[in-house]
């Protein structure tokens, strides 16, 4: 019998539980034109459109397509869903008697739609324009007084996701690379969280392949629609993997750093992930081999580091403004979590010291 360390957590022989989440995905260039039809198929009568500033033109198109079903619009969203912004959106949804919300934008626009769906019976149609993956998860978040509360509730899971690569064609390189780093972190970590399972692993490995391929393509051809489609497909898989595997050591470290020292969420992933992969991946060798094949590298940690470096995403916490003392404080403050190898203060210090300096894993 192979020992658990040799098989990793995601082998069917060990038995597993996987919950498929409901939802419909439409992907293709020009699919924005299908949004109104999808809204109609859901039986939505009064649709509120929520759009990030960069998606105003797309929101105009949808507003016209909706015809009588258009009930109102919220233009502009704020990062991390502040409670006052969520309250305003809920009031607007009540005022226009909305039974559906179309969210066009990144994780922030989709997050705002989720805040409304959490407290009223509205169906969400998500039209993502970044690669964060929130559209595939039942996870919501709201920020109040500087602290973020999150939870999971199937009422906030979008019923339909429409991925149109044309909408993210002009996403700036910096935002593209950072949101891809975030999505890649979801794929990599999905193989070793306590809830990892073989079905999620297949999703995560294919997600990593699509994201890495799409990112490399966009570095040379930012406007290439095939590259943007690859990234949206990868984001869809990364979000699905996050939805079923949840988060582990890597994300918990990033949330501690982001929440305590106000580091940018997406960029923090690029600095921390290669170092966590360096210590965790050897404990799940089969999953590691699959992720390496998907990334096209002989070593997962090095491959991630090289990909992020090639995309100009900072791979050092020092470059993001963290001091060496703060890295040490974070290592002390981190609470142990379920992980393939024991999480000691020394292990966390080693990860953060290397991530701080941006050492090649």
Residues making contact with ligand NAD (CB under 6 A): 52-54, 79-80, 105-109, 111, 129-130, 132-134, 137, 139, 141, 167-168, 170-171, 175, 179, 265-266
For the bound state, the minimum distance from the C-beta of residue 316 to ligand NAD, rounded and expressed in Å, comes to 20
For the bound state, the minimum distance from the C-beta of residue 79 to ligand NAD, rounded and expressed in Å, comes to 5
Q: In Å, how far from its chain's centre is CA 39?
A: 24
> How far is the C-alpha of 119 from the C-alpha of 77, rounded, in Å?
19
Q: Pick the closer one to ligand NAD by CB: 59 or 279.
A: 59
For the bound state, the minimum distance from the C-beta of residue 120 to ligand NAD, rounded and expressed in Å, comes to 18
| CB-CB contact of 266 with 178 (8 Å) | yes
For the bound state, the minimum distance from the C-beta of residue 113 to ligand NAD, rounded and expressed in Å, comes to 11
| CB-CB contact of 128 with 161 (8 Å) | yes
Could you tell me how many residues make up the chain? 361
Distances in Å between the alpha carbon of 174 and those of 136, 179, 212, 263, 342? 23, 9, 15, 16, 35
Q: Pick the closer one to ligand NAD by CB: 11 or 142.
A: 142
Residue 261 makes CB contacts below 8 A (sequence gap 6+) with: 321, 322, 326, 330
| CB-CB contact of 85 with 77 (8 Å) | yes
> How far is the C-alpha of 103 from the C-alpha of 109, rounded, in Å?
6
- DSSP letter at 98 equals -
Q: Pick the closer one to ligand NAD by CB: 123 or 242.
A: 242
Q: Pick the closer one to ligand NAD by CB: 115 or 301.
A: 115
For the bound state, the minimum distance from the C-beta of residue 270 to ligand NAD, rounded and expressed in Å, comes to 13
For the bound state, the minimum distance from the C-beta of residue 209 to ligand NAD, rounded and expressed in Å, comes to 20
Q: Pick the closer one to ligand NAD by CB: 243 or 284.
A: 243
> How far is the C-alpha of 198 from the C-alpha of 15, rounded, in Å?
9
- DSSP letter at 82 equals B
Q: Pick the closer one to ligand NAD by CB: 261 or 283.
A: 261
């Amino acid at each position: 019998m192979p020992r658990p360390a040799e098989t990793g957590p995601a082998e069917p022989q060990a038995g597993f539980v996987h919950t498929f989440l409901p939802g419909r995905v439409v992907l293709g260039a020009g699919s924005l034109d299908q949004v109104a039809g999808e809204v109609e198929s859901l039986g939505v009568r009064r649709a509120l459109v929520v759009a990030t500033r960069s998606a105003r033109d797309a929101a105009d198109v949808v507003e016209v397509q909706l015809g009588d079903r258009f009930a109102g619009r919220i233009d502009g969203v704020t990062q991390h869903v502040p409670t006052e912004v969520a309250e305003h959106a809920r009031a607007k949804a009540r005022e226009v008697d909305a039974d559906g919300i179309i969210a066009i934008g990144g994780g922030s626009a989709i997050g705002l739609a989720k805040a409304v769906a959490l407290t009223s019976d509205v169906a969400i149609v998500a039209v993502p324009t970044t690669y964060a993956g929130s559209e595939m998860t039942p996870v919501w978040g709201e920020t109040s007084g500087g602290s973020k509360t999150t939870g999971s509730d199937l009422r906030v899971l979008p019923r339909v996701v429409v991925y149109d690569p044309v909408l993210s064609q002009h996403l700036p390189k910096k935002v593209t690379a950072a949101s891809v780093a975030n999505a890649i972190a979801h794929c990599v970590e999905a193989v070793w969280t306590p809830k990892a399972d073989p079905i999620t692993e297949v999703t995560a490995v294919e997600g990593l392949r699509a994201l890495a391929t799409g990112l490399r393509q966009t570095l040379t051809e930012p406007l290439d629609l095939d590259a943007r489609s690859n990234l949206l497909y990868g984001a869809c898989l990364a979000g699905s993997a996050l939805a079923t595997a949840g988060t582990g050591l890597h994300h918990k470290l990033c949330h501690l750093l982001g929440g305590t020292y106000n580091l940018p969420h997406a960029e923090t992933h690029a600095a921390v992930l290669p170092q966590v992969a360096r210590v965790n991946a050897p404990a799940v060798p089969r999953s590691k081999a699959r992720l390496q094949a998907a990334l096209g590298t002989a070593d997962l940690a090095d491959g991630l580091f090289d990909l992020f470096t090639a995309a100009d995403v900072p791979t050092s916490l020092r470059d993001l403004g963290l001091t060496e003392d703060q890295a040490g404080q974070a290592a002390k403050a981190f609470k142990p979590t379920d992980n393939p190898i024991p999480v000691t203060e020394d292990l966390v210090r080693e990860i953060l010291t290397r991530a701080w300096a941006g050492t090649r894993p």
